[in-house]
Structure 1
Amino acid sequence: MPHHIPEATTLPEADALLPFEGPSPYENYIHASVLSSLQQPHTDAPEEMPFLVTTQVMELWFTLLVHEGRTAREALRKDDYDAAMDALRRSLRAHRALNASWAPIAELTPRQFNHFRGALGTASGFQSVKYRHLEFLLGDKSEAMTHPHRDHSAVHAELCDALTQPSLYDEVLAYLHRQGLPVPAHVLERPRAAPHEPDPGVEEAWRRIYADPRQGALLALGEALTDLAELVQRWRTDHVLVVRRAMGAKTGSGGSSGVHWLEQRAARPVFPELWSARSLV
């Protein structure tokens, strides 16, 4: 009995073989070749490439988090609760991905790190411009942290502008005030370049929200902000652990005190009254 020979079928790959001239549409949109050209190791240490890629990927996540934070801030300024919550939810997904980015370098030993640490020179993570934008957006303002960029006029101007803009938390508190919560006037009118300091009046506003079952929407906003604050704290804590594992208590490459400086930063709560108000409910 003769075997049945199936008719020729179109391979699924054929659908992707659309003709185009020059770089692919994917390249024109994503600029993958540009991204792939940015990893330029200075040593032959096999661990340097993961370090470069991890750090660069984190910079991209910082960029997205700043974008989403600003989107949420502007939405709250316009009393657009739904758009603000959408942006916050997107930022939570992005921050979880950021935190997972530590994995490729989380187990560096001192000997492995020393193989390429000299190539960093005076480079240090605290010089990251996008991370500084993110911290300013979260309310952790510091004029001193703009100083390393004074010789880069455009970057310094952007940071100084971000320093004097309302933070995301500033706009949250202004929104709560417009919803009838007792946010003190001195908090709403404080200098925007100053870091947010815990305030009992703000704590009371959050206490009322968490104690009142009718405040479902504002409670959801508080919980989204708490999720974001927790993810920031986890990123900072993981940073401490990665550095401590790779270099112990040595001085940081950018002149900071290394782990000690990171520990101090990690100990600073994000949106502090959201945490302290829970003790009063």
Structure 2
Amino acid sequence: MVDTAAPAAERERAARAARNRGRPTTTVDQAVEYVRYGGVDTLHDLQRPRTDEPAEVSFIITTQVMELLFTLIRQRWEQARDALDADDVPAALAALKRGAEAQDVLANSWELLASLTPTEFNRFRDALGEASGFHSFAHRHLEFLLGNKSERMIEPYAALPGVRAELERALAEPSLYDAALRLLHRRGLPVPAERVERDWSERYTPHPGVERAWAEVYADDRPDNELLALAEALLDTAERVTRWRHRHLMAVKRSMGAKPGTGGSSGLEWLAEHANKDVFPELWSLRTAM
């Protein structure tokens, strides 16, 4: 049976453009449709500063932009992981590429706060209370997908049962990197058994056997080696994670120096430690031995 719905819709759009002589339609119904589809009125109602400091609006919008991008990147990484589980490397590569594009926007989002001075930040910082980006459940989900698992990190969301359930599921599932290693194993690479089947809720730790498996992938540098393309795509992802972390570090250093963080951390010291941890570690360490 031929689906005629799409062609009919295309014909109607062409007819409307002809009637309008190429100019956009300006009707109440269409304006309402746009607002409803994107939830635009709700979106613009979400900026609710607690002080009179103008810079607080930039801070809120930047936070909200990042939260939306976390959700988009999560979708891309989950698509890549599921494609790897299905032995579909081309689909995984496409998802990782789209994820990397969103990661670039995420890292550049720090530019919205690039000119925030300590004086401006101090005028609204107390209004944050103990609120901190550390408690972003969307970002926590990304960390779990990277293999940075911790059951303790789910505890703060006890009052949000839906959020907690999603994080518990992510904790129990293989990460993006786990899926890649399991694919290498199925392709005959010597990935150690303890990295093929393990307790997925445990944080991933480096293994020399995994480095050797990736080294074999890199030894075959033919253009059609899709496992090498996967390794490089994963490294693109990892590098962008680190880039975002360093941008975070510098934004904090510029706006508040070495003061303790609102979420209870040591601030710069904690951020620097986190930024220096390699994502997908064996893909980095093998480069020294090659």
Provide the TM-score with structure 2 as the length reference.
Answer: 0.89
**Structure-2 residue corresponding to 1:51:** 59
Equivalent-residue separation in structure 1 for 2:159 and 2:269 (angstroms): 27
- Pairwise CA distance, 1:17: 1.6
The answer to whether 1:153 aligns with 2:161 is yes
CA distance in 1, matches of 2:233, 2:75: 17
Verify: 1:98 aligned to 2:106, yes or no.
Answer: yes
Aligned to 2:23, what secondary structure does the other structure show? Answer: helix
Identity %: 50
Task: Give yes or no for contact 1:138–1:270 (8 Å, CA) kept in 2.
Answer: yes
Q: Among 204, 210, 213, which residue is 1:205 paired with?
A: 213
Structure 1 gap segments, 5+ residues each: 1-9
Q: Distance in 1 between matches of 2:46 and 2:139?
A: 19
* 2:275 equivalent among 261, 266, 274: 266
Q: Distance in 2 between matches of 1:118 and 1:16?
A: 46
Paired with 2:104 and 2:21, the residues of 1 have a C-alpha distance of: 34
2:89 & 2:236 partners in 1: Cα distance? 17
| Superimposed CA distance per residue, residues 73-100 of structure 1 (whole angstroms, 9 cap, x where no aligned partner) | 1111111111111100100100001001
1:24 Cα deviation after fit: 2.6
Which residue of structure 2 aligns with residue 128 of structure 1?
136
Question: Aligned partners of 2:111 and 2:146: how far apart in 1?
Answer: 25
What is aligned with 1:32? 40
Q: 1:217 aligns with which of 226, 229, 232?
A: 226
Q: Does 1:82 align with 2:90?
A: yes
SS at match of 1:57: helix
Q: Which residue of 2 aligns with 1:239?
A: 248
AA at the equivalent of 2:112: P
* Count of matched residue pairs: 272
**SS at the partner of 2:29?**
coil
Please tell me the root mean square deviation across aligned C-alpha atoms, in Å.
1.8
| Aligned residue among 101, 112, 119 for 2:120 | 112
Residue 173 of structure 2, aligned match among 161, 165, 173:
165
Gap change, CA 1:12 and 1:118, over 3 Å in 2:
farther
Q: CA deviation at 1:12?
A: 7.5
Which structure 2 segments of 5+ residues have no match? 1-17
> Could you tell me which of 81, 103, 114 is aligned with 1:73?
81
The CA distance in 2 between the partners of 1:144 and 1:265, in whole Å, is 17
